[in-house]
Amino acid sequence: MSAAQRGTDRPSATDDVTRGAEGPVAVPTPDPAPEPEAAPVSAPESSAEPAAGAAPLPLPRQRQDPSGPPIFTLLVVGDDPTDAFTAPWFQENGGPRIRVLRARNLTAAGRLLTDDVHCILLDLPDVLDGLRQVLRLAPGTAVLVLTDGADDGRAAEAVRVGAQDHLARHEVDAATVTRAVRYAVERKRADLAQRQLTETRLLAQENSRLERGLLPTPLLGGASLRFAARYRPGRSRALLGGDFYDTVRAPDGTVHAMIGDVCGHGPDAAALGVQLRIAWRALTFAGLGGDTLLRTLQQVLEHERSDEEIFATLCTIDIAPDARSADLHLAGHPAPLLATPGSAPDVLPYTEGGPALGLLPDARWQRIPVRLRGEWSLMLYTDGLIEGRIGQGTQRLGQDGMVAMAARLLAEGLRGEELLDAALAEARGLNGGELTDDVAVVLLERPKRI
């Protein structure tokens, strides 16, 4: 191997590894005298940070010199009996420069492992045990093992354990080392990227199963009402947002429905919404209702919220067993939409509505009586539906726009899930894309009796 290939000629002025305080200096031929236990060729050992107990190291980035070739750092661990890695660097034909650091054992190597080390080459008697230790010590760094030949059985076993590649001792030259280091680093990058992708996919699947399990299952056995619901969280790739809803039928035949909205977005809002929904169902089956139920839910909110400024809006409605009347309670939430044959749909009055949960400690909520006659449709919704924009301007759909949209869809004969799907599709179309806020819509219908 020539001096130019093994790095024993005078380095260029761009070589930051071998520059002295006064400028570029020549690198002498290595002295055959015994080396210290761990001595990087181009930097004092004291510059390395301890790696014991440190967090897993990310894969180092390739060092770039605007006036020279890329630089990779190779840490050689072992005695190197053939002196194959005594030169401070490897380079071939102007390609990437492989900077060499040396450590006699893994203890010394631990002191040299910094973010600048791109690859570790193991030349140890028990290379497999050493490999396992290195993988624990530096899980984000590429690893090569030096073997006595291509037929060495340890080579395949080392790759199986976790090394990126192996290098035969008799093949050590500038071209082989450069290629092996570059390929090992890229393989490690690909391995880490694939592992991260797999972990992300598994986490997403787990979150999906969890969120799907937290969505409510209406309990309406024996009720004469038809139920439909749609839910679209504002968070990308999420199944659950800060909006929540539920519907149950009590033993006396009363149908209780609710819909709510926790302020904010993200998993914290979603978790609080689930807690409020579960609490509402439990309190409802325990016989609580109206103002008493809302005050109890406010206590749950106050105990579970992470910040005193967090509040939640809520709409509850209790439909009598004969489906001819209902009691409505509003806590800072938009009033439901009621549609009956022969009259235009409209929102129920909000004059007796109270504040959102979590705003006023001594708040009270008044009962709003609602008359229901014959066939009817009652739609509960969150503000994500009515706050969507119309076109490119600042105008929003609003309750008036929602009422007009519902009237048109009902006139077309749409009911149930078809009605909700069409309403959400039109709202997204008017918004010019997906609605940015969470959206929940619940539809209860009393069909025409035959």
The last residue of one of the domains, among 197, 226, 243, is 197
Same domain, residue pair 289 and 192? no
What confidence category does residue 372 fall into, taking pLDDT thresholds of 50, 70 and 90? very high
CB atoms within 10 A of CB 164: 24
The CATH code of the domain that includes 124 is 3.40.50.2300
Same domain, residue pair 367 and 419? yes
Confidence check: pLDDT of 214 > 90:
no
pLDDT at 334: 96
Domain membership of residue 402 (yes or no) is yes
Confidence check: pLDDT of 209 > 60:
yes
Cβ neighbours for 296, distance < 8 A, ≥ 6 positions apart: 279, 283, 288
Domain membership of residue 207 (yes or no) is no
The last residue of one of the domains, among 147, 170, 197, is 197
Q: pLDDT per residue over 269-298, tens digit each?
A: 888 999 999 999 999 999 999 999 999 999
Q: pLDDT per residue over 18-59, tens digit each?
A: 333 333 333 333 444 444 444 443 333 333 344 434 444 454
Going from the C-alpha of 105 to that of each of 30, 53, 149, the distances in angstroms are 20, 18, 22
d(CA 349, CA 337): 10
Domain membership of residue 209 (yes or no) is no
Same domain, residue pair 22 and 117? yes
Domain membership of residue 206 (yes or no) is no
pLDDT at 26: 34
Considering only residues 320 and 8, tell me which one the structure prediction assigns the higher pLDDT: 320
| Contact present, 273 and 239 (Cβ < 8 Å) | no
pLDDT at 69: 75
d(CA 60, CA 50): 16
Domain count, the chain: 2
The CATH code of the domain that includes 284 is 3.60.40.10
What confidence category does residue 213 fall into, taking pLDDT thresholds of 50, 70 and 90? low
Same domain, residue pair 223 and 135? no
Mind spelling out the 3-state secondary structure of the chain?
CCHHHHCCCCCCCCCCCCEECCEECCCCCCCCCCCCCECCCCCCHHHCCCCCCCCCCCCCCCECCCCCCCEEEEEEEECCCCCCCCCCEECCCCCCEEEEEEECCHHHHHHHCCCCCCEEEEECCCHHHHHHHHHHHCCCCEEEEEECCCCCHHHHHHHHHCCCEEEEHHHCCHHHHHHHHHHHHHHHHHHHHHHHHHHHHHHHHHHHHHHHHHCCCCECCCCCCEEEEEEECCCCCCCCCCEEEEEEECCCCCEEEEEEEECCCCHHHHHHHHHHHHHHHHHHHCCCCHHHHHHHHHHHHHHHCCCCCCCEEEEEEEECCCCCEEEEEEEECCCCEEECCCCCCEECCCCCCECCECCCCCCCCCCEEEECCCCEEEEEECHHHHCCECCCCCCECHHHHHHHHHHHHHHCCCCHHHHHHHHHHHHHHHHCCCCCCCEEEEEEEECCCC
Q: Which pairing describes strands 368-371 and 325-331: parallel, antiparallel, or unpaired?
A: antiparallel
Domain membership of residue 252 (yes or no) is yes
| Beta bridge partners of residue 246, listed in sequence order | 258
Same domain, residue pair 232 and 324? yes
Same domain, residue pair 227 and 114? no
Same domain, residue pair 253 and 139? no
pLDDT at 238: 59
- Lowest-pLDDT choice from 52-66, 304-318, 431-445: 52-66
Q: pLDDT per residue over 111-149, tens digit each?
A: 898 888 999 999 988 889 999 999 998 999 999 998 877
Q: pLDDT per residue over 83-98, tens digit each?
A: 788 878 888 777 788 8
| Contact present, 180 and 122 (Cβ < 8 Å) | no
| Contact present, 171 and 145 (Cβ < 8 Å) | no
Domain hosting 266: range is 215-446
d(CA 373, CA 340): 8
Q: pLDDT per residue over 152-197, tens digit each?
A: 678 888 999 999 998 888 888 888 899 999 999 999 999 889 988 9
**% of the chain with per-residue pLDDT over 90:** 50
Domain membership of residue 205 (yes or no) is no
| Contact present, 278 and 307 (Cβ < 8 Å) | no
Domain membership of residue 203 (yes or no) is no
Same domain, residue pair 235 and 149? no
Same domain, residue pair 226 and 192? no
Length of the chain: 450
d(CA 5, CA 27): 14
Mean pLDDT value across the chain: 82
What confidence category does residue 318 fall into, taking pLDDT thresholds of 50, 70 and 90? very high
| Contact present, 317 and 361 (Cβ < 8 Å) | no
The last residue of one of the domains, among 148, 164, 197, is 197
pLDDT at 151: 61
pLDDT at 52: 39
Same domain, residue pair 308 and 181? no
Considering only residues 26 and 379, tell me which one the structure prediction assigns the higher pLDDT: 379
Same domain, residue pair 230 and 192? no
Same domain, residue pair 188 and 326? no
Domain membership of residue 137 (yes or no) is yes
- Lowest-pLDDT choice from 235-239, 266-270, 297-301, 439-443: 235-239
Confidence check: pLDDT of 7 > 80:
no
In the block, tokens 């991260």 appear at 196
